[in-house]
Amino acid sequence: MIIQVGGSRAGNLGARASDGAIHVDINGAAPVVTQMTPMAFDRIWVSATVLPNGEVLMTGGSAYDNQLQDTALTAEMWNPTTKTFRPLASTPIARMYHSTSLLLPDATVLIGGGGAPGPLINLNAEIYSPPYLFDANGNAAARLTIGRSTSREDYNHLSNISWTGAGTVAKAAMIRTGAVTHSNDMEQRFIPLNFVVRGNTVDVRMPANANLAPPGYYHIFLLNAAGVPSVSKIVSLGVAREKNVLLPGDALSGGDSLVSPDGRHKLTFQADGNLALYTGNNQAIWASGTFNKGGVKAVMQADGNLVIYNQANQALWSSGTFGAQFAGGKLVLQNDSNLVIYKDGKAYWASNTCCR
């Protein structure tokens, strides 16, 4: 869904600005445009910023093109469920032409500039803290903290992310990092992510393809049941990954595989919970022996240990390579059919299935 708000009326910059809002459903064969309840203020050069909870913050603008006439000093929030706006806090500073509004990793919003070449030349900025960052008493709300995660993600990849903090993970979302000019950020997009919580880790499935999320940099936020977002981790999405390597923090779940560079060997986490290595003739040459024991994922941990966990996040099998000397190790499926854990080029564990 796309939303469009404010701006000039019929392209006439000399006329009074619009308070209108529409949403465009692009999920069907043809786009469907629907009028929404308007904003409380007429706004041209309004900045719209997508937030981690899926709401959209509206700031700045005025009733006439870059003029201090009926300036919109009160922010408004659009709710994707009700498709309506509600008023928020106000600012004494008018933000108009050339203004910027940018989501920051801590889930606040940087709002700055605006007014040039006149009637204002704002060389200042403000930080707006959305309501989700406060509890009912106005104090800072308890939030989750993202721990271990990878900085590179590929499409449809299952990423294992550790977390701490109050409550549990109730929502995971990906938001494109901002690139704002003239109150517009055409690359903004909010992508809810499928996830499964397993103790103090969460398995998060990346978007399936570039049609859903073009390659680039994204925030990943975890939100608790109260809707409070974590500080984000910024990842690069769409960077080609080696299909035969499991990096620290990577995971395999039901049906996921590593494939050797020559395509002859495959390591698969099977639906029965077994991690099995097959040769080109579909012969199993190594397995973890965890079939029908409730295994749900195999994780290459940051401490260098390859571990198979059940739904309760209990370890069923491991390579036994945990500790400082193994930290940062990666799992590699080689063309010689050997499965090896390396750190800094040195092998610390192997399936001993070479040359099959």
- Active-site residues, by number, are 97
Largest CA distance in the chain: 78
Where does residue 164 rank: exposed (0-12), middle (13-18), buried (19+ CB within 10 A)? Answer: exposed
Q: Three-class SS of residue 4?
A: strand
Count other Cβ atoms within 10 Å, centred on residue 348: 17
What 3-state class would DSSP assign to 313?
Answer: coil
Taking CA atoms, 168 is separated from 127, 200, 250, 323, in Å, by 27, 8, 21, 27
Q: How far apart are CA 101 and CA 63, in angstroms?
A: 19
Q: Tokens 């035969």 sit at which residue?
A: 244
Half-sphere exposure at residue 286, Cβ-oriented, CA atoms within 13 angstroms: 17
The CB density around residue 136, as the number of other CB atoms within 10 Å, is 7
Which residues 6+ apart lie within 8 Å of 136 measured at CB?
A: none
CB-CB contact of 219 with 232 (8 Å): yes
- Could you tell me the strand order of the sheet in which 315-318 lies? 251-253, 295-300, 306-310, 315-318
Question: In this structure, what token pair is assigned to residue 162?
Answer: 């550790």
- Tokens found for residue 74: 């009160």
